Structure 1
Amino acid sequence: MIVANGEYDNAGLQRLGSPAADADALAGVLADRTISDFDVRVVRNETAHVVEAEIEDLCAEGRPDDVLLLHFSCHGLKDDSGGLYFAARNTRPDRLRSTAVPADFVQQCIRQSRSRSIVLLLDCCYGGAFGQGVAVRSSGDANVLDSFRGGRGRAVITASNSIEYAFEGAKLASDEPAQPSVFTSALVEGLRTGEADRDEDGWIALGELYEYLFDRVRERNPKQTPSRDIEMQGELYLAKSGRRRIKPSPIPADLSAAIAAENPFTRLGAVAELRRRLASDNLPVALGAFEALKLMASTDIEHVAAAASDALGFAVVRVDAAALRLSAPAGSRASAPLRTLGPPVAREVRFEASHSWIRVTATDSGADLAATAGEPGTRRGNVVVTGPTGDVVVAVEIEALPVPEPVAAPEAEPVPAAEAGTAPIVVAGPEPGSAPPSEPVAKPAAAEEVPKRPNVALGALDAPNATLGRSTGPVVAGAERGPAPDPGPAAAGPGTRESAAGQVDPVGGFAGLLAVAGAVLALAGLPLTYRYGYSLGQYRPGMDVFVLVMAACALLAGILTLAPGTRSRTGPALLFGTGLAALFGLLRFLGEAIALSQHGDTELKAGYTFELLAHVAWLVAAVCALAALWRSPAVALGAGWVRGRPAWAAILLGVTAATGWVVQLGDLTTYDSSDGGRATVYFLLGALLAVSVPVVAVVLRPRAVGCAVLATGTAGLLGVLAPTFTACWEEASLSLTGQAIATVALVLLAADTVVLAVQARNQPIGRQP
């Protein structure tokens, strides 16, 4: 686990650039399966209680054979009694016990873990900054290691001792990207390159790692001295290394005698035997022969030395290409294989690239080399191939190709427009030689006369006599689909829904049941654990209010969808509006799961599952409700022009609410980029919903159905205000202008919904647009 806290709410704690870079660099190395077998979890810029929960989970879930590694990159603070605390995002220097992570808490978690091997790496600082690019590591003479002594199978390595400074990169400037700290950058380099493997046995042991860190940190900054406290039985290996050193086997006695014989022909025979051993799969034997041949090539007489040199040439490190020239569009990657040649001892090599844009992956036959093209031009670098019998340098070039411009498609010739209100009809002519048809293809049907209908109110959308009819006049081919007449109970055939007194449409009935079930799931999930022992309201304040509003809307809409008097239109319309608003919660919960899964976090509990299932149920119910509205013979849904000032006012108010939320997000991000990043999903989803709900509602026909959709959609938007207000409430000096704009706009939108409903009640349906 990597705990990286570089952003702090309290102005007294200096913002650090290194923790973010430390987390990215170290996580990349530890997650590389060619280097280690760690499952990496990163806790970045979280509050103290979240960090504590993550640490406790790590230690509690550790099994006896697990190796636990905990890395801190943050401020370190001490109280008046000398106790050590790790700073979190919400830490206040004057309230360390309640807002920081105590070292005693970490020690207790480590002691109570079942894991027999735990490593703690502390790259923490004390008390802010001292000069440019320096973070003070200590005040006073208390040693960090004193807080972590004791225990079996435990190890602590710190970035510096108690009276020194630790550097955050070479220089921290606002116009330069943050670099890993001196300590963590040395740690990452030692693991990635394998240089921490001092004995070159193919494994990086904890003791070797500390010795490497001590040398590298002191080399880069003589004023910083890493410290350690290791209490373990046996050796603990943290990573694998490609620097496996082969120890040559001694030459057998009879072969040694032949090498030292006075007769040169005997020595030539020894050269032949050594060459045979050089091709052995037993690498120590082969390397022993190589060392003996190298000695003979430099000390024996000319013709024996020449034979030994020729044998050595058979086993030197070789590759199939001295140079690789690649090409790719700028920013793209090109790859090529690089094969090693010769006997096994010559193929026991490691690869090291000169630049970060060259990536080398070792394979059984050599390596796969990939290079990324830069700006237009040619990049040049190299890969050094090193083995026990020598090394070779492979030149690498990659040329950035220009990106081809897209070819514009030819424009189609314009088609003459048909007469207004009609659609062009194309009739295929007769085949050559055939007789013309004797009858016309089709005749227009006569218009049906429909009696006038009574007025319809929002609460009586499903009254038996409140049918929606077509205006009198002929039906024109290609014209917009208009409302269909109510055929009445006697005319309802198989597959259609009867009037309010008839049977329930199975699609609508299923939608109603699903909405009620979703409401039950949502309400049941509120008190359950959402994450780390916290309920939804505790972990994501404000979201519980939104869920309560949506559950109430879904419960009401579901019941009305099942009730005999309102199941034709009122219930499904309210349910469709509820589904539109539920998109906010669904996308919010899905986004949280995706974000946590990227860090290997699976700590979402039953409360999360209940809320996610509830929102999925509401969305499916909304789709079914829309299908039920469309299937109803008493309803015809079609998009029409937006008419009337209240309809345009609804769209304008939705856009205003969206603008207010976007403005508030900008203010919050400027005030605190960390909080702004976490709250982005609330404001952007709310803004998108504020625009979508009124637009969808005012184009639905009949208008009374659109009013019902707008009613529950606006209720959901008002529920979104709870999490958005909560995201801003903790920032005492933050202006809430954008939030006030959104609130006023939504309240006016609710009032405008009532106006639209009254208009729909007082206007005959036959005259509704």
Structure 2
Amino acid sequence: MTGERRALIIANGEYDNPGLSSLRSPAADAEALAEVLADRGVSEFDVQVVRDETAHVIASRVEDLFADSAPDDVLLVHFSCHGLKSESGELFFAARNTRPERLASSAVPADFVQRCMRMSRSRSIVLLLDCCYGGAFSQGVAVRASGDVNVLDAFPGGGFGGRGRAVITASNSIEYAFEGDHLADEHARPSVFTSALVDGLRTGDADRDEDGWIALSELYDYLFDSVRERNPNQTPSRDIEMQGELYLARSRRRRIKPSPVPADLRAASEDPNMFTRLGAVTELQRRLTSENLPVAIGAHEVLTTMAQTDIQHIAEAAALARREARVRAEPGELRFGEVVRGTRPVARIRLEGPPIARACRFSSSHSWLRVTEVGDGAEISLDLAEIGAFDGRVTVTGPTGETTVRVEGQVVQEPAPAPEPEPVLVPPPPPEPARRAESVAPRATADPFTRVAGGFAIAAAIFLVVIAFTLGKDVEDFFEDGGWTTIPYFALVSGGAVAMFVPKTRRMIGPGSVCGLALLMAIPLGAPVYVLAGGCLFVAAVCALVAVRRDRGFRLGLGRPRDGFAVAALVLALVATTGLAIQAGELIDYSSSRADEGAVYLEVSVIFLIGAVLGALLRPEAFGIAFLGGVTGGGIVMVCVLVYALPSSSSVTGAGWGIALGAVLALAAVTAFAAFGKTAKA
């Protein structure tokens, strides 16, 4: 049964005691290492970070980790802090509250960590110590310890009995660990040791045998070479006692073994007949693009042999086939331009070609050039702190060759903020008469949707004239059949159309009145021409609303009744609706044949009530009054039209019609009074 993989990262860079200098790198160490260890595609550890804590907190976390472990668990502990020794030569790890003169009570003894490791049931324990235990201090170096002590003596491998414990340190007993090249750098960065550790795990470069796994021994070899390359004065040390290999991470550097080509294809590639060999080149080229990488690599090896040994004609064909599988990276050069110091710009390299050409790994020429493999490519990020030009290389290596991407640019200092100009005392302008927010000056030019709305409103008025002449062939028919009722409606629609073109009314009054008139035209009365008129007016209303929405001078919305006008409008609308409902009930009671007419009354009453409520609540108030004016004007005409639907029998009194007409006329008067008052205030 596979156990858990658990990691504890302890980073202490801030200290209460002034005798212990602050360290810049532990915070960055913890962040970078925790990220790569927790990556499910790399190490898959359950990571816990303890940062700048007191000694008793650190000791408690260490004991919990080792005490709560099972035999199959893999435990990893990383210390990044000051290393101190007592007068008797005992090693201690410094915590935030550590006092150098009271190490026993304020620091974490190395002996305590050793006992916890021995008592643990886990058979696989790795201890990484990014601390130093002796040496000197010189410019550009942050010393993390004082006095000479060998950390490996504090954690003897013989005491582990070969059960699977390992200790890897950042430096040996007489050296110090480097945090960076420049002590004065205010930007935190990982230490040399932890930086190499993170890079080796993240990129897979620590997988020396390219078997897809990073073993502990391989990791140490990589750390030794990387740290020595970056700083020849620092030498990592180890004491590893493991039965078998302990694999800490996965790697994408897995070496792919070529699959031999079929015997008949191998024979064809060596056949004396030139045309048979040309046919073999074609088949090998097809295998070269296979998703099966071992098959593709086997074909590539045969094509390489033919390109090097065959006659010119065959060699050229084989070389051309191989060219399709060459490593290609886009773009071939990354120019970052000017990069502000302290930022971390990111760019992407994309691999192209068949699968064999994209089975690549990436390496960078400098530690400030970070490469993270993602999909069929890599993300390139910069971690630069020095002012000036930078020039680096990212090498892309695959089974079929390699290519290089140049990375260049210039690090610049963040520009200082411009000084604020001194305030200039300007006398305040004379007060202007207060205006309400909705009284905004009209636009210099009309919105295109406003013109379209006015055009469709004019078309609706024309159709209403056609309706009037259709209803009466002569004057007597004109009045008897109700054709005269379209004349007031024609006047109202024409007024709304004209308001859409006048600068002072095209912003709110015109759209409001057109929308109010269109609301009652939504009631179908059957005549095709009437449907056309209603359709044109509906399109005009939609365009008017779009123009209002595009106008940034005000925002259309709903509000609560704030004055007597709104309350009166709501009451009168309710009375008119009640009257129409009464009339509808009389028609339905009179005869089942009049039920359809009664339904029209009910439909008119509901739409009229909705329109009146909207007109009373819409804001800006000018738009609401215009909307209510359109609803009221259309309501008067609609009630007059409906009177012709009354049967001649005395059983239908028309009392409801009278109530409705009276309420609508009163509402029209209230609306006109409100509009007059609004104009006077403006």
TM-score normalised by L of structure 1: 0.46
Counterpart in 1 of 2:464? none
SS of residue matched to 1:155? strand
Counterpart in 2 of 1:107? 114
Aligned mates of 2:370, 2:235 — CA distance in 1: 33
- 1:427-438 map, 5 Å: none
Counterpart in 2 of 1:284? 294
- In the alignment, residue 305 of structure 1 is paired with which amino acid? A
**Residues 287 and 345, structure 1, Cα contact 8 Å, conserved in 2:** yes
**Residues 129 and 136, structure 1, Cα contact 8 Å, conserved in 2:** no
Distance change (3 Å), C-alpha of 1:187 and 1:363: closer
**Residues 11 and 29, structure 2, Cα contact 8 Å, conserved in 1:** yes
Deviation at 1:379, TM superposition (A): 10
Alignment equivalent of 2:322, drawn from 307, 312, 331: 312
**Residues 145 and 228, structure 1, Cα contact 8 Å, conserved in 2:** no
Aligned mates of 2:21, 2:327 — CA distance in 1: 52
Deviation at 1:350, TM superposition (A): 3.4
Alignment equivalent of 1:78, drawn from 74, 85, 92: 85
Q: Does 1:42 align with 2:42?
A: no
Deviation at 1:246, TM superposition (A): 1.5
Counterpart in 1 of 2:397? 386
Deviation at 1:91, TM superposition (A): 2.0
Q: Does 1:153 align with 2:164?
A: yes
- Of the two, which has the highest radius of gyration? 2
Alignment equivalent of 1:199, drawn from 193, 209, 216: 209
Aligned mates of 1:373, 1:12 — CA distance in 2: 31
Distance change (3 Å), C-alpha of 1:175 and 1:268: closer
Name whichever of 259-268 and 327-336 sits farther off.
327-336
- In the alignment, residue 44 of structure 2 is paired with which amino acid? D
Deviation at 1:290, TM superposition (A): 0.8
**Residues 327 and 334, structure 1, Cα contact 8 Å, conserved in 2:** no
- 1:152-171 map, 5 Å: 152-162=163-173, 164-171=174-181
Counterpart in 2 of 1:68? 75
Q: Does 1:265 align with 2:270?
A: no
- In the alignment, residue 271 of structure 1 is paired with which amino acid? V
User: How many residue pairs were aligned?
Assistant: 416
Alignment equivalent of 2:96, drawn from 54, 76, 89: 89
Q: Cα deviations across residues 8-36 of structure 1 (Å, max 9, x unaligned)?
A: 33344343333334333323433444432
Counterpart in 1 of 2:355? 344
SS of residue matched to 2:81? strand
Distance change (3 Å), C-alpha of 1:157 and 1:326: closer
Aligned mates of 2:194, 2:381 — CA distance in 1: 27
Deviation at 1:118, TM superposition (A): 1.7
- In the alignment, residue 224 of structure 1 is paired with which amino acid? Q
Deviation at 1:198, TM superposition (A): 0.7
- 1:230-629 map, 5 Å: 230-318=240-328, 340-351=351-362, 362-364=373-375, 366=377, 384-393=395-404, 416=433
SS of residue matched to 1:40? strand
Aligned mates of 1:213, 1:372 — CA distance in 2: 20
Aligned mates of 1:199, 1:97 — CA distance in 2: 45
- In the alignment, residue 315 of structure 1 is paired with which amino acid? A
SS of residue matched to 1:95? helix
**Residues 74 and 124, structure 2, Cα contact 8 Å, conserved in 1:** yes
Aligned mates of 2:346, 2:181 — CA distance in 1: 35
Name whichever of 148-157 and 286-295 sits farther off.
148-157
Deviation at 1:142, TM superposition (A): 4.5
**Residues 133 and 148, structure 2, Cα contact 8 Å, conserved in 1:** no
Counterpart in 2 of 1:218? 228
Deviation at 1:48, TM superposition (A): 0.8
Distance change (3 Å), C-alpha of 1:312 and 1:145: farther
Alignment equivalent of 1:116, drawn from 123, 132, 145: 123
Aligned mates of 1:393, 1:289 — CA distance in 2: 25
Distance change (3 Å), C-alpha of 1:393 and 1:39: same
Counterpart in 1 of 2:602? none
Q: Does 1:10 align with 2:17?
A: yes
- In the alignment, residue 235 of structure 1 is paired with which amino acid? E
Q: Which runs of 5+ in 1 are unaligned?
A: 404-410, 427-431, 434-476, 479-769
- In the alignment, residue 9 of structure 2 is paired with which amino acid? I
Deviation at 1:270, TM superposition (A): 3.2
**Residues 67 and 121, structure 2, Cα contact 8 Å, conserved in 1:** yes
Distance change (3 Å), C-alpha of 1:8 and 1:209: same
Alignment equivalent of 1:54, drawn from 44, 61, 73: 61
Aligned mates of 1:268, 1:89 — CA distance in 2: 74
**Residues 134 and 148, structure 2, Cα contact 8 Å, conserved in 1:** no
**Residues 82 and 142, structure 1, Cα contact 8 Å, conserved in 2:** no
Deviation at 1:180, TM superposition (A): 3.2
Deviation at 1:78, TM superposition (A): 2.6
Counterpart in 2 of 1:25? 32
**Residues 14 and 128, structure 1, Cα contact 8 Å, conserved in 2:** no
- In the alignment, residue 275 of structure 1 is paired with which amino acid? Q
Deviation at 1:333, TM superposition (A): 9.6
**Residues 126 and 137, structure 1, Cα contact 8 Å, conserved in 2:** yes
Aligned mates of 1:372, 1:3 — CA distance in 2: 23
Counterpart in 2 of 1:565? none
Aligned mates of 1:89, 1:37 — CA distance in 2: 29
Which protein, 1 or 2, shows the higher relative CO under an 8 Å CA cutoff with sep ≥ 6? Answer: 1
Distance change (3 Å), C-alpha of 1:394 and 1:11: closer
SS of residue matched to 2:297? helix
Deviation at 1:119, TM superposition (A): 0.9
- In the alignment, residue 113 of structure 1 is paired with which amino acid? S
TM-score normalised by L of structure 2: 0.52
**Residues 43 and 249, structure 2, Cα contact 8 Å, conserved in 1:** yes
Deviation at 1:206, TM superposition (A): 0.9
Distance change (3 Å), C-alpha of 1:4 and 1:396: closer
Distance change (3 Å), C-alpha of 1:30 and 1:412: farther
Deviation at 1:315, TM superposition (A): 1.5
Query: Percent sequence identity over matched residues?
Result: 62
SS of residue matched to 2:214? strand
- In the alignment, residue 2 of structure 1 is paired with which amino acid? I
**Residues 133 and 151, structure 2, Cα contact 8 Å, conserved in 1:** no
Name whichever of 12-21 and 134-143 sits farther off.
134-143
Aligned mates of 2:149, 2:336 — CA distance in 1: 57
Q: Cα deviations across residues 103-128 of structure 1 (Å, max 9, x unaligned)?
A: 12112222333433221001222368
**Residues 13 and 127, structure 1, Cα contact 8 Å, conserved in 2:** no
Distance change (3 Å), C-alpha of 1:310 and 1:2: same
Q: Cα deviations across residues 44-73 of structure 1 (Å, max 9, x unaligned)?
A: 222211111121222234444432211112
Aligned mates of 1:115, 1:412 — CA distance in 2: 81
**Residues 91 and 151, structure 2, Cα contact 8 Å, conserved in 1:** no
**Residues 194 and 242, structure 1, Cα contact 8 Å, conserved in 2:** yes
**Residues 13 and 128, structure 1, Cα contact 8 Å, conserved in 2:** no
Aligned mates of 1:333, 1:178 — CA distance in 2: 13
SS of residue matched to 2:190? coil
